Amino acid sequence: MEDFKSANVDAVQNTWAIIKQDTPQFYVALLTAHQEYQALFPAFANVPVGELFNNADLHSLSVKVFARLSELIVFWGNADALISKLIDLAHLMQHKGRGTTQAHFDNAFVVLMNFLAAKLGSAFDPEAKQAWTVTIHAWHQYRFTLEA
């Protein structure tokens, strides 16, 4: 949890406020960059990539995931609440049990950073980029430890 202290909370919260409504676009970007990941999502595994943005199941999933991310970002300033949310998320998501590997997360991180850069433009300055990098890696490391 020490990594959390080095992140700029304001940079993450301020940039999140700008892009948090663009939920389906992130998943479309992820599944376009890594089409092999689409098979991990049975609800829209056979939907052509060009039709994903309008798919109700993808919208539902992305809204749920981004809502959980929003909760983490809101609780950023309260370490106990943040840890509790991360524990809840680790138990809920069970990524490891679904065969999700470190490579999946690494690739999703690259897509996320590109997504943030494209959506935020100049607001995704070096400080925001560093804050997101520290945040995502710290969250993932903590959750991965819980799922072990």
Domain that holds residue 142: 2-147
Please report the sign of the dihedral spanned by the C-alpha atoms of residue 54, residue 60, residue 65, residue 69: positive
CA-based end-to-end distance of the chain:
17
- 67: phi then psi, degrees, rounded to nearest 5: -65, -40
> Looking at residue 136, which CATH number applies to its domain?
1.10.490.10
- DSSP 3-state assignment of 148? coil
Are the CB atoms for 69 and 143 separated by under 8 Å? Answer: no
Better-scored residue on pLDDT, 102 or 57: 57
Would you give the distance in Å from CA 121 to the centre of its chain? Answer: 19
Q: What pLDDT is recorded for position 1?
A: 47
Angle between helices 102-120 and 126-147 (to 10 degrees): 150
User: What predicted TM-score, i.e. pTM, was given to this entire model?
Assistant: 0.81
Q: What pLDDT is recorded for position 124?
A: 94
The total domain count for the chain is: 1
Each residue's pLDDT tens digit, 58-106: 999 888 888 888 888 887 777 777 777 777 766 655 555 566 777 888 8
